Amino acid sequence: MNYFPDEVVEHVFDFVTSHKDRNAISLVCKSWYKIERYSRQKVFIGNCYATNPERLLRRFPCLKSLTLKGKPHFADFNLVPHEWGGFVQPWIEALARSRVGLEELRLKRMVVTDESLELLSRSFVNFKSLVLVSCEGFTTDGLASIAANCRHLRDLDLQENEIDDHRGQWLSCFPDTCTTLVTLNFACLEGETNLVALERLVARSPNLKSLKLNRAVPLDALARLMSCAPQMVDLGVGSYENDPDSESYLKLQAAIKKCTSLRSLSGFLEAAPHCLSAFHPICHNLTSLNLSYAAEIHGSHLIKLIQHCKKLQRLWILDSIGDKGLEVVASTCKELQELRVFPSDLVGGGNTAVTEEGLVAISAGCPKLHSILYFCQQMTNAALVTVAKNCPNFIRFRLCILEPNKPDHVTSQPLDEGFGAIVKACKNLRRLSLSGLLTDQVFLYIGMYANQLEMLSIAFAGDTDKGMLYVLNGCKKMKKLEIRDSPFGDTALLADVSKYETMRSLWMSSCEVTLSGCKRLAEKAPWLNVEIINETDNNRMEENGHEGRQKVDKLYLYRTVVGTRMDAPPFVWIL
């Protein structure tokens, strides 16, 4: 089979970097499997409970970078209790014992402790990059260990984590000799920041390209930081409240003008409405703008800023921009690829909210758009049909109509036809989120047309088990299916058990599945972990006279090669 010596084959493999491709290579033959596993440096594990550290290290002894994901996606919306699991400690312990040369660790939705961070910081001499997304369980003391002990730290990127801020001096724990920082993101920290330590750190980090500040960094400090880091590419502004103190404002304006490499802007965690004009001079270079936390900024100011951003590729914004604002985006941002519009009013429909008109305008004006997340008050089938026609290139389409079960507001029909048009036209669709009034029909369309669909999120949709069956039978590439508050039950769950071997996971909450249905599934598929999460009734479930017919509150099942996990809390019942 091999015409070349192993080293040559390995060299060829070096050019293959995507996980999917490397996984495919390893399946070709035993020889390739062996060469591939010794040369694999980056490993991605989408569900930390699908395997374990020992198996990881046995197969990939030369790994340098590990990505791990823990809790299911719906944990982002408070549907998974904090103590459910996803602990990184055993992984770090195993990696430390094995003396593997770990350089990069990326974690999402995992529980990280200060102990884990301390162990991490002491165990890997060449450790360079720590990225934590939506994690919890640690404090700024853990950050202090990382700062103090990782001599070659390049990236410390904390995105939307729950961190207990001890208001300590973690920033001053970076030794004076640390000059290698490229990324520093601590926007999610809620406490005070040692500004002097921060300024000194930034001043001695000539390679610093990405700096995201928390809300405790005021305007004058921002001006100083920017003037000593004009090479900045990605900036997250913390607090941006401008008093009429014009001196710091002038200094900021001057500093901003010098940041000619700035391509990405975010933050404005606390902002007075009028300050954005200081950034207008660099807007023409921006490719990424995230104002989704700038709740105080009035729609008109957002629009003024965006009018200058002709090169924007990625925009995350609040719906306070309004349909009119989205029309401005559509006519200005011709390079736009990804748009996210978040709700700004959780209580009741405000008149500045966005509707189907904004979505249609964007689809018409932005030919390169491939990913959208859109929260809105209302939608129509006609609008979705138009959007599908304008944008057949969607890879990700997530629509969230704020009121569940809301029909087409013009015809009062379900939105089946609209979403049907989307899946029919968008042949490369990989991710879809549904909302509004939907019957089984929409799932028929999805099963028929969404051939590339890998992730589907369903809420308050469907009529019968047929809906779920259409999806399970039709979407051959389905990896993650998450369903809440929909009338799917045991029939759909049990129809084709082997399907779950091809999927990463299935989540069903507030549906119609029963305990006996789940038990039957667990019996048929011992290679699945079938978890019942029942915070209130777990003990009573068994004793109940209705035994078996009791509906399951939350079901989470996933394929695994290592069987039942040992770290589940008492309210998680693994069948």
Q: Kindly list the residues in this chain that would bind another protein in the complex (CB under 8 A).
A: 76-79, 134, 160, 162, 188, 244, 269, 272-275, 277, 292-293, 295-296, 298-301, 342-352, 375, 400, 402-405, 437-439, 457, 459-463, 484-487, 509-510, 512, 514, 533-537, 546, 549-551, 553-554
Considering the complex, what minimum distance in angstroms separates the CB of residue 113 from another protein?
Answer: 20
- Angle (deg, nearest 10), helices 381-390 and 416-425: 10
Q: Using CA atoms, how far apart are residues 183 and 264, in angstroms rounded to an integer?
A: 13
Considering the complex, what minimum distance in angstroms separates the CB of residue 166 from another protein?
Answer: 19
Considering the complex, what minimum distance in angstroms separates the CB of residue 124 from another protein?
Answer: 30
Instruction: Point out which residues pair with 559 in neighbouring strands.
Output: 528
Considering the complex, what minimum distance in angstroms separates the CB of residue 405 from another protein?
Answer: 6
Considering the complex, what minimum distance in angstroms separates the CB of residue 306 from another protein?
Answer: 14
**Closer to another protein at the Cβ: 96 or 568?**
568
**Closer to another protein at the Cβ: 218 or 230?**
218
Is the Cβ–Cβ distance between 74 and 99 less than 8 Å?
Answer: no
**Closer to another protein at the Cβ: 79 or 361?**
79
Considering the complex, what minimum distance in angstroms separates the CB of residue 136 from another protein?
Answer: 10
Separate counts of helices (H) and strands (E) for the chain: 20, 23
Nearest partner of 562 among 47, 49, 37, 43, judged by Cα: 49
Q: Which residues contact 155 (CB under 8 A, 6 or more apart)?
A: 104, 128, 129, 130, 131, 181, 182, 183
**Closer to another protein at the Cβ: 165 or 553?**
553
**Closer to another protein at the Cβ: 118 or 157?**
157
End-to-end C-alpha distance for the chain, whole angstroms: 45
Residue 103, amino acid:
E
Buried b / exposed e along 306-331 (16+ C-beta atoms within 10 A): bbbbebbbbbbbbbbbbbebbbbbbe
Give DSSP secondary structure letters for 276-322.
GGGGGGGGGG-SEEE-TT-TTS-HHHHHHHHTT-TT--EEEEEGGGH
**Closer to another protein at the Cβ: 63 or 555?**
555
**Closer to another protein at the Cβ: 155 or 512?**
512
Considering the complex, what minimum distance in angstroms separates the CB of residue 276 from another protein?
Answer: 8
- C-alpha distance from residue 31 to each of 3, 10, 43, 309, 426 (Å): 12, 11, 20, 51, 39
Q: Which two tokens stand for residue 172?
A: 């001053």
Give DSSP secondary structure letters for 374-437.
EEES---HHHHHHHHHH-TT-SEEEEEESSTT---TTT---SHHHHHHHHHH-TT--EEE--SS
**Closer to another protein at the Cβ: 79 or 119?**
79
Considering the complex, what minimum distance in angstroms separates the CB of residue 400 from another protein?
Answer: 6
Nearest partner of 514 among 537, 493, 528, judged by Cα: 493
Is the Cβ–Cβ distance between 547 and 515 less than 8 Å?
Answer: yes
- C-alpha distance from residue 432 to each of 379, 400, 452, 456, 478 (Å): 16, 11, 11, 5, 11
**Closer to another protein at the Cβ: 14 or 243?**
243
**Closer to another protein at the Cβ: 200 or 324?**
324
Considering the complex, what minimum distance in angstroms separates the CB of residue 168 from another protein?
Answer: 22
Q: Which two tokens stand for residue 409?
A: 């507001």
Is the Cβ–Cβ distance between 109 and 76 less than 8 Å?
Answer: yes
Considering the complex, what minimum distance in angstroms separates the CB of residue 300 from another protein?
Answer: 6
**Closer to another protein at the Cβ: 218 or 299?**
299
Q: Using CA atoms, how far apart are residues 26 and 24, in angstroms rounded to an integer?
A: 5
Considering the complex, what minimum distance in angstroms separates the CB of residue 329 from another protein?
Answer: 17
